[in-house]
Each structure stands twice: as C-alpha cells, then as structure tokens.
Structure 1
Amino acid sequence: MVGNRSDWFPTAVWNFDLDTHEKLNQDLLSAIYAEKQRDAQGVNWSNSLGWHSVDNLHQKHPFKPLMDIVLTNATEVANCLAWDLSKYTVTVNNCWALVNGKFSSNFLHNHPNSLLSGAYYVQAAEECGGLFFRDPREVTHMTMPPLTELTPWTLQKVTYKPIPGRMIIFPSWLLHGVEPNLSEDERVTVSFNLGLRPIA
C-alpha cells in the first residue's frame, strides 16, 4: 500500500538578483556612508559591533530607485501569496542601512509589526557572513532521529550567501540573523519592512 502525502505550512524565502546593479550600488554606498558620517553612533537593534542607521531611509531621495525595485519585487511576492491587491497596495514601512566591519554580526531576531522583510546587498566580499534563517518549527527538533541526508523537512538552519545586487525577501516573523564578517572589507546592506495600505 502506498500512502498519500500532503505538505502543509511551507515557509517561502525569495531572492532576486539585479542584472545591472553597479551604478545603483555605487550611489547607495555614497548615500549610506554620508548617513554614517552624519550619525556615527547610529542605533543598536540587532547589530553586534556594526553600524545601524535610522529607519527612515525609504523617505530619502538617494534610496528611491532601490525602493522602486523593492516594491516591484514585493508585489510579485504578494501575488504569489494570493494577497488581495485589488483593495490594498504594498508599502515600505521602514528602511535602514547596516555597515558591518570585521567580526560584526546580527543576532537572531524577527521583525514585528510588518508582513514581509528583506535585505539588499550593496557591498559583500567573500567570507563577509551570510544571512541565515532558523526553522520556525522549534518543537520538531526536540528529538531527532538519525538521518541519511538533510532535506527541507530536516534542516534546522539555511544560509544565503551575500552577493552584491541580490535582494532577499522573507516573512517578517521568520527568525534570522547574520553570521560574523570574517573578511577585511565592510559588508553593506539595506534592509526593509513591508506592509499593506488600503487603496483610497
């Protein structure tokens, strides 16, 4: 007898690679370092050792080209998730930049009060630390049987390699963090939270 299997409660993570990102990233890098110069202390949210900007960058002109791309990609995600975009539109709730030098990281966290979150890589060298996600079904790992291989059903953690021009979008509730930067170069990212606004 062969059983019928159903898979429920999937967790999707999307990544988008921009074909032409060099000019965009150069402009973003200049804008981010200008922000860092104006506010060298920054804020301390999930960052360890690195610099974290204020979270209103989506309202500033140098970041508008990136926000246009964010909204295009996020709308694709929303359609995939069957959100009702006949009555609502996807919006950027807040946006911030991170500059992580050697040994900087971001500890495990999620993003309350939003639906989707994301990160865009402006500058990323080899060994600069990947974005990792932890299996949200914590109780499934209380007792693990011996495994012949790791699969999407048994992985406890998955890591995305940082690549300049790559954007990753994921559910805001999904626990995630960033590995330590082991390179000599600063890892520079722009992160954002997304929500819905009723169409007037």
Structure 2
Amino acid sequence: MQPEEIFILSKNILSPAKGQIDVGFTHSLNPYSGCAFSCLFCYVREMPIQKYRELSWGSWIDIKTNAAENYRKEVRRLRSKGAIVNIFMSTVTDPYQPIERKINLTRSLLEEMIESPPDLLQIQTRSPLITRDLDLLVVLKEACKLLVSMTIETDREDVKQIFAPYAPGIRVRLKTLKTLKESGITTQASVSPVLPFTPEFPELLIGIVDTVWIDPLNT
C-alpha cells in the first residue's frame, strides 16, 4: 500500500500532553499525521483525526514540512518562561515510518533538539530505521534524558502478520533494540497491545532493554 502524501504547514508541533501520557510528559510531538504501518489494533483509527477523513487509515500521511522550524520557536518560547519540556514522540503516528527514509523530518527534529534539547525525550517506534539516526541519538543522550521505546506486541511473526502485516518484522525490531542498547541508549520494549506470544518471549528481551511497558489495551 502506497499512502497519499500530503504536505502541510502546521500551526505548532508541540501539543500539551493529555490522556495516558500526561504523567511524566508535558508535550507530545508528531512529525506526521497518519501511519503507513496501518496496524489493525491502532487506537488512532477511532480518533477524530481519522474519523473525519475520507481516506482510510494507512492510505494517507500528512507531512508537517515546518516541524523543525516550529520546534525551534516553540521550545525557545517555553524556555523563556522557565518551563520544563518533556516530550513523547509520537502519539498518533510512527516517527520512523517508511516515508521518513526520504523526507528526513524526524531527523531534522533531532538536529534541532541537539541545539535546543528538551529535558526528556521518549521516542516511540516500531521501525529499525531509527538506527539511521544513531549518530544524533548518541549526541542527544548527553544533552537530555533520552529513552527509545520499541513496540513489540508479540514474539510470534505469524500473529504479527495478522494484526500488523505492514509493520517491520519482530526479529529486526529486537536486533534494533540490541544495537541501541550497545550504543548506550536507554531502551524500552513496549508490549502494546499484548498479543498471543510464546513462553520464550520474556527471555528475548533480557539484556537489550532497561524497562518493559505492558499495555493490554482492554476495551
């Protein structure tokens, strides 16, 4: 599936944290809207951002072309007021979905963060593309508290193929966590949602993550 690419100018890039992330975070940051991974369990499918779109979830991506410029202005404004800036990236998209490979929007944000770092940055992804930016992450972790959280909802590839056929494979995600950990990055496995898994699943995470976040996503 090739999503429709829509280039937009956003009014802002930092949004006040709310919902589950309002504990520990002050802002959310979404370089894109929409997500090509199009996971069947994604809660964004039921949010207004998708409900009022004519295109189906996974078939469109809004590209916030001025994201880095907005970040620079907004974080400096917050700092001038003495505000703490704890960022969760991202809540309604994956910052390392396939389009990032050519657009480099997330990378441009990391470059700005090195110049004007937040106090805390958590990057939430399920993509091995994040290792492309390892050079920036290694620098950024010295300027702020940095956590990379990799979504790993199961260790069974057959289950993943049913619920998230367009997302990267499980083994490559585990390898990505190992690479990040060996580079001195604080890592987390986000088991969200909890899908059927094997008894060996917990053992696969030993030594490659500092924490595990478990979300059964009950409705």
Please tell me the TM-score bracket, short chain as reference: under 0.3
Per chain length, whose mean CA-contact separation is higher, i.e. which structure has more relative contact order (CA < 8 Å, sep 6+)? 1
> How high is the TM-score relative to the length of structure 2?
0.24
Report the structure, 1 or 2, having the larger strand content: 1
**Larger CA Rg, structure 1 vs 2:** 1
Of Structure 1 and Structure 2, the greater helix share is in: 2
